[in-house]
Amino acid sequence: MSDLSSQVVDALRQENVEKILDTAERLFKHYGYSKTNVADIARDLSMSPANIYRFFSSKAEIHQALARRMLSVQYEALKANAAGPGSVEERLKSHLILMHRITVETMLEEERVHEMVLVALDQQWPVIEEHLTRIRHLLAGLIREGIDAGEFRTQDPMVAAECFICFGVTLCHPQLVAKKGRGEDEVEPLVLAEYMIRALK
């Protein structure tokens, strides 16, 4: 097979994969993850379940691919924030605030999306660990920049990034965010971010 033919085949395959993912995401959001099966996805696409299985081995694999796509969008937003203007301190604060907003808006406000996220977390799929590793390196790069600029004390950027993630988990873990109260005692994301910045200094 020539390189051109191979590229055409790959492009057609990717097009079919995206169609399946788009349809699965729409059905998961409408009916719920647990109430949607591969036959439903195939029926909506006017194809046989066997055709779906040419691209994905199971519903779980489709869900994993959707989780990877959702987290990739989240990562790109955080990456753009990290590369934005302002001091490292300002960008780290906005990182936590952005993470919290993304969690609330995309993972909690839609009940069916929340179900999809909880299933992914419960299964502990590698895609979750891959995402956390990317975030860890993104934060380490920011903290290293802050150290070089004299904003933060000298320290191991990777250790500091891991501590930053652990500290900020209450702002971005869907289950923890969902359980947080809405009363007067709730600590605002900015307050938590400022507290973490003081630790870095």
Instruction: Kindly report, residue by residue over 30-68, the tens digit of the pLDDT.
Output: 888 889 999 999 999 999 999 999 999 999 999 889 888
Instruction: Kindly report, residue by residue over 130-187, the tens digit of the pLDDT.
Output: 999 999 999 999 999 999 999 999 999 999 999 999 888 888 877 777 666 554 455 6
Question: Over the Cα atoms of the chain, what is R_g?
Answer: 20
Residues of the chain with CATH 1.10.10.60: 1-57
- At 12, the pLDDT band (50, 70, 90 cuts) reads confident
On average, the pLDDT of the chain sits at 86
Q: Give the long-range contacts of residues 41-46, CB within 8 A, separation 24 or more.
A: 45/19, 45/20
**Distance between first and last Cα of the chain:** 58
Measured in degrees and rounded to the nearest 5, phi and psi for residue 37 equal -120, 175
Asked if 166 and 160 touch (Cβ cutoff 8 Å), the reply is: no
**Rounded distance between C-alpha atoms, residue 178 and residue 157, angstroms:** 30
**Rounded distance between C-alpha atoms, residue 143 and residue 157, angstroms:** 6
Residues of the chain with CATH 1.10.357.10: 63-200
Report pTM: 0.83
Q: What is the pLDDT of residue 184?
A: 46
Q: Which residue shows structure tokens 């995401």?
A: 25
Asked if 141 and 84 touch (Cβ cutoff 8 Å), the reply is: no
- Does the pLDDT value for residue 99 go beyond 80? yes
**Rounded distance between C-alpha atoms, residue 99 and residue 113, angstroms:** 16
Give the CATH architecture of domain 1-57. Orthogonal Bundle (1.10)
CATH code for the part of the protein at 63-200: 1.10.357.10
